[in-house]
Amino acid sequence: MPTGIIINTSSILLGGLLGGLLGNKLSERFKTDITLIFGVCSMGMGIYSIGPMKYMPAVIFSLVIGTGIGLIIHLGEYINKGAKLMQQPISKLFPNENLNMSHEEFINSLVTIIVLFCASGTGIYGSLDAGMTGDNTILISKSILDFFTAVIFACNLGYVVSIIAIPQFIFFYILFLLAKFIYPLTTPDMILDFKACGGFLMLATGFRMIKVKMFPTADMIPAMIIIMPLSWIWINWILPIL
């Protein structure tokens, strides 16, 4: 049973609902300043994940090639369209929802947290680990930060944040089911490189959250798919030549 995934999904659902209720009760300064703290937390988690990286060239190659793929297929644009579709039914349910931001800023913020919740190395690895070993510790730990992050973002974005729980559950549950096939093909070094790649995405997401630089985090997602094959190629094909 995917207990960890259910807990993680529930934390976003409940956090989004609570944040939607609190949105008009918290000051703009509080919401802005606390978002900066979550941005720093995301960056810190990213740096922590990058630290144990085993083969930097493989990770760098995956980020460059993966982002290139994302840009070529316009993955970010598709995710933007998906974000708009998510927002539409919420607008009908809560027509009086007051969002003090432009439509472009709203979509950028929504894409940022979609990547944060659904494409982090911690979440993907935690789903694989839970499916293979039954250990839900990683996902439960992630749920704590996700809950408070969902609350704060929902204060600004509204109830739409809670809907992110649906694609997150689907994606993580698929990984949970595939874990028995994927996990045995990996090595500890490949896992470290995989987590490091996710760390770079979380670092870029942190920069987006504090609005220093709007990295194309959605277009970076394919890097999470190709990092393990590239890490394996680097270990078995490139290093022997060097």
pLDDT for 144: 86
Is the pLDDT at 79 greater than 80? The verdict is yes
Residue 214 three-state SS: coil
Q: For tokens 């959605």, what's the residue?
A: 218
Interatomic CA distance for residues 158 and 124, integer angstroms: 26
Q: For tokens 């070529």, what's the residue?
A: 72
Handedness of CA 16, 19, 23, 28 (dihedral sign): negative
**pTM to 2 decimals?**
0.84
Is the pLDDT at 86 greater than 80? The verdict is no
Residue 194 three-state SS: helix
Is the pLDDT at 71 greater than 70? The verdict is yes
Give the chain's end-to-end CA distance (angstroms, integer).
45
Residue 163: give the domain boundaries: 3-241
Give, as one character, the DSSP assignment of residue 121.
H
Phi, psi of 220 (to 5 degrees): -85, -10
In the chain, the number of structural domains is: 1
